[in-house]
């Protein structure tokens, strides 16, 4: 219903504050309903003052219609964040999802229990909580957006009988039925969002809006811990309580749900610093584009930079979460009854019988072909296994001559890089490079024949990456240098075996050996107590 622009207000001494200008689209400016919704949004959110709700600064009218001046948020919404993870073939960290959901619940609790400046209770129901309306800034702050269709006491806009408003796949059952809503409707939407981000698939996706509404009312809901086994059962229980179709069985309010998330998640929760680190990793290019766009407002960026920034910001946000294909039979909660399979009645008409016969023939043909392929596959395994056993016996029976001059093993492998503990002096410049001492080989005969030397082994070159998650959070050192604080994502390291020093809340030094391979990412998720002290 609206279009957005980037704007700013300036003042003495170089003062500048960036805002978003929101205007009703030209083709609906004469629509009285849209205008009332626009005024509702301004009136409702202008009074809000919560860190997790986007603010409205001003409402005005120009020759071309009404406008809102809103908080400028440099960040990405949850659809864009999941799309970035899918492009990298990575799963959104569960700690990220849980922390975002916790902050959204607190923002909703503020809106649901809002007290007007006059002292009169003025609760606001959002009615459109979905990934598209939740942003995470590049600094890791969660923002709930778009109260454009919110239902507030005394709102100007009235919903007509027989109509529903919201994003269909995220509506509550009572919202689909057109019943009177309270804050627990928004909590159901948060449950849908959590389920999708945790399992990596849409929950109520359908062919059309009607199909999605029917699924919201009737379709079984699988437990997240059954779809994604690494999800703690306590977290899964919170999600399923939020998704109860009977609102009386859900959490009483957003604050209770936020506390339940904190209790179930424990050390998994990401704080704003961790979220900011992940956002910078995922959206480095878009962050640079945003900076260029802001510089253009100050007149310090050329047109080529601005055009490049606009292209980067308009890039495709996909891929999006896929539709869930396997409706696993849930356990308890709102979805304890498995999905009923459609009953197949007798075929009607000659055409239908012919179709069934053709299908049966095709299935039989496919079955015979499948049996032949499986037979060939098993035969190849037997032949390969027999050859492998024969070859192994030849190797084991071979005569092995002992080395006439065995050497003692060194106490350490000189090929591995050596790193010092925090606070210790740095090693020599060449000590971290793989070196092999050149030694003469023993004489071939008893006489003084020529001696040959082994060639110097070349150092291993190249770089790889390390993603390390340690719970609880810990500081990570490589030698004297601090690599950062966990969770760390895609930290570039030289190829080789690295000895890392881990310092958790207990201040004890723990030692972790990490192999880094060229061009690959080593991913580790450990509990602090699993890392040996050193």
Active site residues: 128
Decide if 57 contacts 43 (C-beta within 8 A): no
* DSSP conformational letter for 115: B
For 181-197, give the DSSP string.
Answer: --HHHHHHHHHHHHHHH
DSSP string, 401-452: PPPSSPPPPPSS-TTS---PPTTSPPPPTTTTS------BPPPSSSS-----
Sign of dihedral through CA atoms 52, 53, 54, 59? negative
Q: 4-27: string of b/e by CB count within 10 Å (b at 16+)?
A: eeeeeeeeeeeeeeebbbbbbeee
- Identify each DSSP E strand in 31-170 by its residue range: 56-62, 65-71, 75-77, 124-125, 134-137, 142-144, 151-152
Cα 58 to Cα 39, 71, 134: the distances in Å are: 11, 10, 22
Q: Which residues contact 431 (CB under 8 A, 6 or more apart)?
A: 417, 418
SS3 73: coil
Tokens of 496: 């080789």
- Measured at the CA of 145, the angle between CA 283 and CA 320, to 5 degrees, comes to 50
Q: How far is CA 136 from CA 89, 252, 275, 440, in A?
A: 20, 26, 8, 63
Beta bridge partners of 6: 20
């Amino acid at each position: 219903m609206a279009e957005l622009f980037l704007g700013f207000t300036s003042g003495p001494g170089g003062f500048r504050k960036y805002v978003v200008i929101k205007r009703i689209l030209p083709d609906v400016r004469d629509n009285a309903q849209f205008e009332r919704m626009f005024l509702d949004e301004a009136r409702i959110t202008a009074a809000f003052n919560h860190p997790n709700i986007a603010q409205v600064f001003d409402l005005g009218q120009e020759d071309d219609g009404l406008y809102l001046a809103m908080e400028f948020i440099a960040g990405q919404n949850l659809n864009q964040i999941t799309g970035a993870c899918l492009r990298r073939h990575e799963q959104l960290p569960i700690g990220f999802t849980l922390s975002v959901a916790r902050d959204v619940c607190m923002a909703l609790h503020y809106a649901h229990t809002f007290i007007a400046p006059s002292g009169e209770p003025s609760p606001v129901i959002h009615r459109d909580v979905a990934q598209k309306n939740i942003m995470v800034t590049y600094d890791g702050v969660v923002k709930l957006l778009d109260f454009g269709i919110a239902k507030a006491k005394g709102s100007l806009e009235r919903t007509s009988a027989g109509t529903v408003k919201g994003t269909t796949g995220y509506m509550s059952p009572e919202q689909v039925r057109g019943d009177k809503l309270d804050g627990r409707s928004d909590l159901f939407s948060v449950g849908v969002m959590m389920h999708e981000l945790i399992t990596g698939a849409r929950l109520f996706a359908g062919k059309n809006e009607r199909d999605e509404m029917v699924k919201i009312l009737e379709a079984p809901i699988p437990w997240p811990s059954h779809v994604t086994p690494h999800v703690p059962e306590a977290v899964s229980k919170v999600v399923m309580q939020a998704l109860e179709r009977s609102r009386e069985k859900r959490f009483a309010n957003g604050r209770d749900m936020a506390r339940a998330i904190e209790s179930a998640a424990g050390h998994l929760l990401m704080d704003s610093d961790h979220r900011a680190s992940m956002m910078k990793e995922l959206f480095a290019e878009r962050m640079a584009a945003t900076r260029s766009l802001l510089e253009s407002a100050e007149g310090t960026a050329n047109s080529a930079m601005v055009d490049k920034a606009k292209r980067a910001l308009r890039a495709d946000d996909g891929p999006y979460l896929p539709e869930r294909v396997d409706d696993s039979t849930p356990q308890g909660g709102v979805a304890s009854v498995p999905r009923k399979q459609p009953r197949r009645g007798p075929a009607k008409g000659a055409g239908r019988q012919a179709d069934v016969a053709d299908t049966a023939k095709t299935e039989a043909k496919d079955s015979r072909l499948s049996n032949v392929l499986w037979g060939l596959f098993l035969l190849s395994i037997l032949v390969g296994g027999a050859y492998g056993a024969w070859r192994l016996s030849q190797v084991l029976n071979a005569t092995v001559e002992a080395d006439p001059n065995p050497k003692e093993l060194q106490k350490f492998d000189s090929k591995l890089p050596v790193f010092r503990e925090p606070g210790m002096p740095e090693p020599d410049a060449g000590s971290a490079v793989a070196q092999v001492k050149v030694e003469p080989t023993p004489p071939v005969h008893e006489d003084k024949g020529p001696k040959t030397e082994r060639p110097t082994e070349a150092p291993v070159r190249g770089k790889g990456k390390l993603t390390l998650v340690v719970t609880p959070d810990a500081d990570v050192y490589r030698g004297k240098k601090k690599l950062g604080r966990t969770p760390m994502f895609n930290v570039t390291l030289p190829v080789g075996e690295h000895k890392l020093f881990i310092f958790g809340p207990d201040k004890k030094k723990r030692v972790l050996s990490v192999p880094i391979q060229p061009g690959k990412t080593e991913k580790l998720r450990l509990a602090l107590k699993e890392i040996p002290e050193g």
